[in-house]
Amino acid sequence: MTSMKSVMPDRSFDFIYLASQSPRRRQLLEQLGVRYELLLPGADEDAESLEAALPGEWPEAYVARVTEAKLDAALTRLAQRGLPAAPVLCSDTTVAVDHLILGKPVDAEDAFRTLSLLSGRRHRVITAVVVGASSGSGSPRSAALNVSEVDFAPVSAETLRRYVASGEPFGKAGSYAIQSQAAAWISQISGSYSGIMGLPLFETAQLLQQWGWKI
């Protein structure tokens, strides 16, 4: 499932800034053949605070809000550093069971609890993408939200403990990566494989085309 919104930019660009530390998102952008430069938070920025959920916030609304907030922070960063103008791409992913947001684990026990919850059931992987820039007309931006569904087979506690001990869950929404050994537990996917990785390529290509890209 995908939703999109856009405000058309007033010019096209030959590269973008990627405001993400995820190596998976870099890999996926490279798969599209997109030229990019990294625009990462400085040591003085509290990037993690942007990912705090609001009380009662639904997962889809949470991901969309956080991604927009990341773009606002990145555009401020771009202006402060005096870098050449270009669009900025931000993305955020979370895993959800019903209304419950399953973000990055804080420790090994948190990772184990999350994976135990996912074992033997279906969950949603929600990824938002937004491309924006500062201009004389304000802050034009284009956004998309991809929702995929993933079915996990039942997984033993021993197997989950080994996975947690490998270190793979850390830094991952839902405590797993689809391109890791956790793929052996996935019985069915409905949606976007690249979206589950962290950047839905179809939606990203659609957004970039609005900024003059030839995909």
- Tens of each residue's pLDDT in the chain, 215 residues: 666 666 555 556 789 999 999 999 999 999 999 999 999 988 887 777 888 899 999 999 999 999 999 999 999 999 999 999 999 999 999 999 999 999 999 999 999 999 999 999 999 999 999 999 987 666 789 999 999 999 999 999 999 999 999 999 999 999 999 999 999 999 999 999 999 999 999 999 999 998 888 76
Domains of the chain (ranges; CATH) run 2-210 (3.90.950.10)
Backbone angles phi, psi at 132, to 5 degrees: -150, 170
Tokens representing 176 are 């797993």
Note if 92 is an active site residue.
Answer: yes
- For residue 8, the one-letter residue type is M
Catalytic residue among 72, 92, 107, 151: 92
Is the Cβ–Cβ distance between 65 and 130 less than 8 Å?
no
Structural element, H or E, at residue 37: strand 36-38
Residues near 41 by beta carbon (within 8 Å), at least 6 away in sequence = 47, 73, 77
**Measuring CA to CA, which residue among 164, 154, 161 is closest to residue 184?**
154
Is the Cβ–Cβ distance between 155 and 119 less than 8 Å?
yes
